[in-house]
Structure 1
């Protein structure tokens, strides 16, 4: 689990700095300090790594239930804005989500999760 998290953190840093298209597996390996075998044990490709970063960006999104669901939405947006400033995984996930050069990469996951989250709260 630690190796997987190390690889994801390294991938997030490289994707944030270079974007999806320019990032290379070699750069990610160098940043993570792991072997190719370790990387490919956890992730099959650069696209798989990017999907891991996209999924990881909102895994830590926990907040208390509020009586007012509108307040809950405000709390989550404020938390996400804070994490955007402080968490490289979130910054990388947002960059990947918005990266127009990331041809062939399914970037819909974060948008669909936010849509589901908002719809659930507002329902």
Structure 2
């Protein structure tokens, strides 16, 4: 039997369909988890929302728990982040990218909501420790470069960043009913926090634009789609 070549167009289309199906299931599951919570959601609900079959779903996931774990694992990625001359810019950038994605990706919003389940870490995990560790690393590098003030403790401020970011998401949904102003509010949050910890001469070189996350992430997606091996469905 002939093994299909990795460059075979038919094989690439099949691989892309599998990727698209998985993403559709996760997005649909995210919406179901948002509406019904993890405990209230069922596989039948997810199948209906994803408009797919049991065979397609179980070809990717063993069940609801594995779907929730995948949502959490896929949530906190560094996709779209580009190395910057000023390290504090990277701290801002990942938060702005995630803010843009939160508005546009149901699975990401679901992950945020699921992460506050009282025993999320024991059930399906939570992305917060990874983000905190990332911010600790970036703030530590920034401090070594002299970008932040001497009193700054990276561990303490890393917690402040993740807490303030998630708090804005929840208050935005509670007060506004949606996340239409979320990116602008995250931008203001970072301006305030960086004004408190950054050396004054560094601040003019940090871009706090509300659309920065969108620009970085859409550029990443465009590059990914045009790279060898990527194919539009």
Residues 101 and 108 in structure 2, CA contact (< 8 A), matched pair in contact too: yes
Change (3 A) 1:75 1:87: same
Paired residues for 1:83-94 under 5 Å: 83-94=101-112
In structure 2, the partner of 1:8 is 26
In structure 1, the partner of 2:133 is 116
1:24-58 per-position Cα deviation (integer Å, ceiling 9, x unaligned): 11000111111212211211121100011112223
TM-score by length of 1: 0.84
Residues 21 and 101 in structure 1, CA contact (< 8 A), matched pair in contact too: no
Residues 16 and 95 in structure 1, CA contact (< 8 A), matched pair in contact too: yes
SS in 1 for 2:111: helix
Residue 63 of structure 1, CA deviation: 1.7
Paired residues for 1:1-123 under 5 Å: 1-59=19-77, 61-100=79-118, 104-108=122-126, 110-121=127-138, 122-123=140-141
Distance 1:54 1:87 in 2: 13
Alignment root-mean-square deviation, CA: 2.1
In structure 1, the partner of 2:15 is none
SS in 2 for 1:98: coil
Residues 7 and 28 in structure 1, CA contact (< 8 A), matched pair in contact too: yes
Distance 1:104 1:58 in 2: 18
Residue 18 of structure 1, CA deviation: 1.5
Residues 27 and 105 in structure 2, CA contact (< 8 A), matched pair in contact too: no
Residues 19 and 99 in structure 1, CA contact (< 8 A), matched pair in contact too: no
Ranges of 4+ aligned residues in structure 1 off by more than 4 Å? 101-104
Residue 107 of structure 1, CA deviation: 2.3
- Count of aligned pairs: 122
Distance 1:9 1:36 in 2: 16
Residue 102 of structure 1, CA deviation: 5.5
Residues 80 and 97 in structure 2, CA contact (< 8 A), matched pair in contact too: no
Residues 114 and 120 in structure 2, CA contact (< 8 A), matched pair in contact too: yes
Gaps of 5+ in 2: 1-18, 142-233
Gaps of 5+ in 1: none
